[in-house]
Amino acid sequence: MAAPDTHADHAHSPTRAQRDDAVRRARWLNAATLGWNGIEGVVAIAAGLAAGSISLVGFGFDSGIEVSAALILTWRLRQERRDGCTQGADERATKAIAVSFAALSVYVAVEVVRDLIGTTQPDVSVPGVALAAMSLAVMPFLARAKARLAPILGSAAAAADAAQTNLCALLSAVVLVGLAANWLLGWWWADPVAAVGIAVLAAAEARWAWRAEALADTCCG
């Protein structure tokens, strides 16, 4: 997954009005993220536990991490009320999001090993298929909207949050393929293989977010 450009041209800094508008839109997008992923996480974990699907449970935990990333970014945006630069707050928020990615990767990897050793065969989950399909339809639009705001805000944390939402879209596709293969072809191993994809993508995003360079903080201009 391509990381957001942290070296964008800031020769034309946004006006105060444009920045305030970006902050408002970011807050609305965060609210939408919290609402959608809160429901998505509960449904995915419940369906995953019922079907014995590690990919669905991992997808549900990713939704929970998406919520945590949105909450972290909400804290970051509240720093806009203070005078001066927000680079310090932004760096702390970005590191916290990176840790949440790493936690997801480790959890899913451990569960995949347990499933493969125990040859646990998940049941078909029609609710899981429907949920993954809906998420795949919604998340790309939300991710693009968030990514467009990051350079205006000068926020690597906003870029990391957008990457997390984009990861959710990719995971939706991975989970959907795994669940569909189990449902239509009886390939039980497709579920843990899909979960491996979740772990790898989450680890990659953790690495990027931890090492992300700061964007030019446009509230300093």
Residue 81's pLDDT is 57
**Best CA proximity match to 129, nearest among 33, 48, 189:** 48
Other CB atoms within 10 A of residue 49 CB:
12
CATH number for the domain whose boundaries are 16-220: 1.20.1510
Q: What's the alpha-carbon Rg for the chain, to the nearest Å? A: 18
Q: What is the pLDDT of residues 154-184, one digit of tens each?
A: 777 788 788 878 878 888 888 888 888 888 8
Please state the domain extents for the chain. 16-220
Of 165, 152, 157, give the one whose Cα is nearest residue 66.
165
pLDDT computed for residue 46 by the predictor: 92
- d(C-alpha 37, C-alpha 64), whole Å: 7
Query: How many other CB atoms sit within 10 Å of the CB of residue 184?
Result: 10
Among 43, 3, 44, residue whose Cα is nearest residue 194: 44
Q: What span, in angstroms and rounded, lies between the C-alpha atoms of 167 and 92?
A: 21
The span from the CA of 137 to the CA of 169, in Å, is 8
Which amino acid type is present at position 135? Answer: S
Name which of 220, 109, 86 is nearest 158 in CA terms.
86
Phi and psi angles of residue 5, each rounded to the nearest 5 degrees, phi first: -70, 115
8's CB contacts (< 8 A; 6+ apart) are 151, 215, 216
Please check the confidence at residue 4 and state whether its pLDDT lies above 60: no
Percent of the chain with pLDDT over 90: 4
* 99-150 per-position pLDDT tens digit: 878 887 887 787 777 766 766 667 878 888 898 899 889 889 988 998 888 8
